[in-house]
A and B are shown apart, each in its own frame.
Chain A
Amino acid sequence: MASLELRNLNKRYASGAPDTLKDIELKIDSGEFLILVGPSGCGKSTLMNCIAGLEAITGGQILIDGQDVAGTGPKDRDIAMVFQSYALYPTMTVRDNIAFGLKMRKVPQATIDEEVARVARLLQIEHLLERKPAQLSGGQQQRVAMGRALARRPKIYLFDEPLSNLDAKLRVEMRTEIKLMHQRLKTTTVYVTHDQIEAMTLGDKVAVMKDGVIQQFASPRGIYNDPANLFVASFIGSPPMNFVPVRPRRQGAQWLAALDSGQARCELPLELAGDETLDGRELLLGIRPEQIGIAGSHSLPTVLAEVKVTEPTGPDTLAFVELNDTKVCCRLPPEIDPRVGEVLALQFDPARVLLFDAGSGERIALGPARSNGSAKKVSRLHPR
């Protein structure tokens, strides 16, 4: 296994065209699992193709084990890839599909047989070896595609949305299996997905991308709890984070944000370390649905709000209320089953909410402990 580092990587399709990838900086150690996540068209698949050598880059370096491979072809990079469509060779049997890469590398036949057997055992596809891809189910094809990558024992594995063609149930199963496999084999892996659950569950590191730029590169927990900006905060999490528009006012030493549910008003104290420029400016208050609960503590401010609609999901009840004319989702325990029109007393910890600039989407730091003086942007977290 090998480490992978991208330095200042740029990709443009034609001169004059906008950058498809801009100043990409990433580094993962040997055996780490990197997730590239973002909406479609964000450049994540292009980035993967650049790492594989299927597309040439226009600037920067791609280092595998410290060696720049930017100028070499895909066959010399020793990378294996699992495609979204699986890309199994339709006229070859499963065995030949798995063996093809080894044959191309002129590995002796005995070794090839051994490898195919090993991989087939690992993925439990031994009974499928003599079949053609068309005779396999989607999940089986997926396993074969992974087997083809595993047999090569490459330096790096690339997964291009490998689970997106599977049905929901199988997707969850395979996700767990990929994780188990990675824990066992400790393979350096780059995994592209647009599914934020896969991003959260599989990765050691997550890079959230948008418009060819990495928005944040951090651990899954870091991305979830400490998003760098509005985009990352809204992209990760399901149901997504609520964003309530507020205009904080300064009252003495305290900052207050008014929340209006139509039934009641509430002044929310914010531990805002900002200066005067924040006074009256429009900010977005970010609260995750699970951070909103039924009032129980006396120390937290309470908001009364009427329930507009409920969605019992089984493990939770999602109740939607309106705060400052914005729909807000509250994730409540399943035994709470409010009627529509019922007024709930809701509470959340002002210390845990996030604040974003409504215009730029940049994060605004909270808490006097974390900053003293002017409000500052939370810098992008680049673990270097």
Chain B
Amino acid sequence: MSDVSVAQRRSSDVLLPPGEGGAKRRMRAMSLSRLAIHATLILACALYLVPLVVMLLTSFKTPEDIRTGNLLSWPEAFTLIGWIKAWGVVGSYFWNSVMIVVPAVLISTVMGALNGYVLSMWRFRGSQLFFGLLLFGCFLPFQVILLPASFTLGKLGLANTTTGLVLVHVVYGLAFTTLFFRNFYVSVPEALVRAARLDGAGFFTIFGRILLPMSIPTIMVCLIWQFTQIWNDFLFGVVFASGDTQPITVALNNLVNTSTGIKEYNVDMAAAMIAGLPTLVVYVLAGKYFLRGLTSGAVKG
């Protein structure tokens, strides 16, 4: 329905309406259709925002307030009690996540950049095949490697350690990080590398002095992608970590889904906000790179 009205707006850009009256009618139809489009878009915005608003409102309420009010009722009095309690429960796990995310993101990005460099600029027999094998990793349902991975971590003495989780995230993040850099570097003219070789630069010099300085946007995309992926991970966290080493997603899930005691929804929501804030902040600050990561991850190869 809104499409029909759009038609008139667009065609009016190109075709002049026949007469005066026609023009007026068209103008009215046009603004009506514009209104409909804007209304639809704004309504959708509201719907998308509701869960976030509800989470925030609930997190600032008292349990009493939650029982008497409703999802969208304004808190009787803003209280930080939920946030304080939530931080008490999930705070240490928050730092666990940080300890996992930082090294895992950095290592997998560095490896991805080097892999992408080799796979685009220094191809050799079999390198394309390897890239194909690696790409499949983007689609791998991780359930299929959980058991052997946990045996291996056990053998290495890394079960239930932060190091173990870092390792797992590096290994299974490699497919995407390599893809990002490889896809960027194939768009870089090979003549640059040739010129640098004639200038006397070697493998690492070409990478460090010429390609890396060009890759800032790709590095951002990769860092942000890996950060969201690893921060938001639950499967590896719940399988490969226990107790003190769990990441925040696992801690949040444990908090929310324990059946003992009275449910404190304000604490649940505050904890969920704490778990969600780092990625939300990154998204708001660097949404451009976040989107680019999603789309280039989508349009594979």
Name A's B-contacting residues (CB within 8 A).
Answer: 49, 52-54, 73-75, 79-81, 83-87, 89-92, 100-101, 104-105, 148, 152
Which of B135-143, B179-187, B188-196, B277-285 has 4 or more CB atoms under 8 Å from chain A? Answer: B188-196
Which of B98-106, B197-205, B225-233, B256-264 has 4 or more CB atoms under 8 Å from chain A? Answer: B197-205
B35 to chain A, nearest CB (A): 43
A119 to chain B, nearest CB (A): 14
The 6 closest A-B pairs by CB, nearest first: A101-B199, A104-B200, A87-B191, A91-B213, A87-B195, A75-B200
Whether A85 pairs with B189 at a CB distance below 8 angstroms is: yes
For residue B53, which residues in chain A have a CB less than 8 angstroms away from its CB?
none
The complex places the Cα of A104 from the Cα of B205 at a distance, in Å, of: 9
Q: A87-B189, A87-B194 are in contact. Are A100 and B214 (CB under 8 A)?
A: no
The complex places the Cα of A85 from the Cα of B193 at a distance, in Å, of: 12
The complex places the Cα of A90 from the Cα of B189 at a distance, in Å, of: 11
Whether A89 pairs with B210 at a CB distance below 8 angstroms is: yes
For residue B214, which residues in chain A have a CB less than 8 angstroms away from its CB?
90-91
Whether B210 pairs with A101 at a CB distance below 8 angstroms is: no
The complex places the Cα of A54 from the Cα of B121 at a distance, in Å, of: 12
**Pairs across A and B, CB under 8 Å, 12 listed:** A54-B194, A73-B197, A75-B199, A84-B191, A85-B189, A85-B191, A89-B195, A89-B209, A91-B210, A100-B196, A104-B199, A105-B200
B98 to chain A, nearest CB (A): 32
Q: Looking at chain A's contact residues, is the secondary structure mostly helix, strand, loop, or mixed?
A: loop
Whether A104 pairs with B194 at a CB distance below 8 angstroms is: no
Whether A89 pairs with B198 at a CB distance below 8 angstroms is: no
Task: List 16 other contacts, CB 8 Å, given A75-B202, A81-B194, A89-B209.
Answer: A53-B198, A54-B197, A54-B198, A75-B200, A75-B201, A81-B195, A83-B194, A87-B189, A87-B191, A90-B192, A91-B210, A91-B213, A91-B214, A100-B201, A104-B200, A105-B200
The complex places the Cα of A80 from the Cα of B213 at a distance, in Å, of: 23
B85 to chain A, nearest CB (A): 50
The complex places the Cα of A52 from the Cα of B199 at a distance, in Å, of: 11
Q: A91-B213, A91-B214, A104-B205 are in contact. Are A80 and B198 (CB under 8 A)?
A: yes
Whether A74 pairs with B197 at a CB distance below 8 angstroms is: yes
For residue A104, which residues in chain B have a CB less than 8 angstroms away from its CB?
199-201, 205
- Partner of B197 from A75, A84, A105 at Cβ < 8 Å: A75
Whether B191 pairs with A83 at a CB distance below 8 angstroms is: yes
Chain A CB within 10 Å — which of B189, B196, B200, B202 has the most?
A: B200
For residue A81, which residues in chain B have a CB less than 8 angstroms away from its CB?
194-195, 198
For residue A79, which residues in chain B have a CB less than 8 angstroms away from its CB?
198
Chain A CB within 10 Å — which of B194, B196, B199, B205 has the most?
A: B199
Whether A101 pairs with B191 at a CB distance below 8 angstroms is: no
Q: A85-B189, A90-B214, A91-B213 are in contact. Are A100 and B194 (CB under 8 A)?
A: no
The complex places the Cα of A87 from the Cα of B201 at a distance, in Å, of: 14
The complex places the Cα of A152 from the Cα of B196 at a distance, in Å, of: 13
For residue B195, which residues in chain A have a CB less than 8 angstroms away from its CB?
81, 83, 87, 89, 148
For residue B201, which residues in chain A have a CB less than 8 angstroms away from its CB?
75, 100, 104
For residue B209, which residues in chain A have a CB less than 8 angstroms away from its CB?
89, 100
Whether B196 pairs with A89 at a CB distance below 8 angstroms is: yes
The complex places the Cα of A49 from the Cα of B190 at a distance, in Å, of: 12
- Partner of A89 from B192, B197, B200, B202 at Cβ < 8 Å: B192
The complex places the Cα of A87 from the Cα of B188 at a distance, in Å, of: 10
For residue A91, which residues in chain B have a CB less than 8 angstroms away from its CB?
210, 213-214
The complex places the Cα of A237 from the Cα of B201 at a distance, in Å, of: 41
A62 to chain B, nearest CB (A): 15
For residue A85, which residues in chain B have a CB less than 8 angstroms away from its CB?
189, 191
The complex places the Cα of A105 from the Cα of B199 at a distance, in Å, of: 8
For residue A101, which residues in chain B have a CB less than 8 angstroms away from its CB?
198-200
The complex places the Cα of A79 from the Cα of B189 at a distance, in Å, of: 20
- Partner of A152 from B189, B199, B205 at Cβ < 8 Å: B199
B216 to chain A, nearest CB (A): 9
Residue of B nearest to A77 (CB): B198
The complex places the Cα of A315 from the Cα of B196 at a distance, in Å, of: 45
For residue A148, which residues in chain B have a CB less than 8 angstroms away from its CB?
195, 199
For residue A49, which residues in chain B have a CB less than 8 angstroms away from its CB?
194
For residue B205, which residues in chain A have a CB less than 8 angstroms away from its CB?
104
The complex places the Cα of A38 from the Cα of B5 at a distance, in Å, of: 58
The complex places the Cα of A152 from the Cα of B195 at a distance, in Å, of: 12
For residue B194, which residues in chain A have a CB less than 8 angstroms away from its CB?
49, 52, 54, 74, 81, 83, 87
A143 to chain B, nearest CB (A): 15
For residue A105, which residues in chain B have a CB less than 8 angstroms away from its CB?
200
For residue A87, which residues in chain B have a CB less than 8 angstroms away from its CB?
189, 191-192, 194-195
The complex places the Cα of A91 from the Cα of B195 at a distance, in Å, of: 14
Chain A CB within 10 Å — which of B189, B198, B210, B214 has the most?
A: B198
Whether A52 pairs with B198 at a CB distance below 8 angstroms is: yes
The complex places the Cα of A318 from the Cα of B295 at a distance, in Å, of: 56
For residue A100, which residues in chain B have a CB less than 8 angstroms away from its CB?
196, 199, 201, 209
- Mask of B144-155 contacts with A, CB within 8 angstroms, 1/0: 000000000000
B30 to chain A, nearest CB (A): 41
The complex places the Cα of A346 from the Cα of B201 at a distance, in Å, of: 62
Chain B CB within 10 Å — which of A83, A87, A152 has the most?
A: A87
The complex places the Cα of A84 from the Cα of B210 at a distance, in Å, of: 19
